[in-house]
Structure 1
Amino acid sequence: FEEQAMKTPDQTALVFGAQRMTYRELNEKANQTARLLREKGIGRGSIAAMIAERSFEMIIGIIGILKAGGAYLPIDPETP
């Protein structure tokens, strides 16, 4: 992902309905999320549970967790 974001920062990375997000935007938001998670103690060996509907925020969260060094545990909002 990092490599793609560096190669094509202004290309569309996500499309959800009429919304679009570039690789640059996605990478910046994922980096912010990763920094916050690290401050909260998420890192190598950590598991971060996430309840989210399909959205940009869900993808940002997943990438942020992985960038922080953790593993994500998806929880279906319909059956938590």
Structure 2
Amino acid sequence: MNKEQVDQILKYTKNQIIQLEDNIDKVLLKNTLENLRSGLEYIAKDVSDIVNSPEKKVFFPYGQRLNHFKTFN
């Protein structure tokens, strides 16, 4: 898939989100996203247990800017 196709998909998806925004239950959406993040944290922990020492505290990083991700080493 080339950049133009990816850009088209992102544009289409952005328009879909705008159309759906008024119909989405914000509390349900927040809960769903938190549950998805929990799943990612479980996966990150499992991978860490295999690759690193199990005692290390691991969580799925998130942030609003790229430099937030770079602080997680």
What TM-score, normalized by structure 1, do the two folds share?
0.33
Greater helix proportion: 2
Larger relative contact order (Cα-Cα within 8 Å, sequence gap ≥ 6): 1
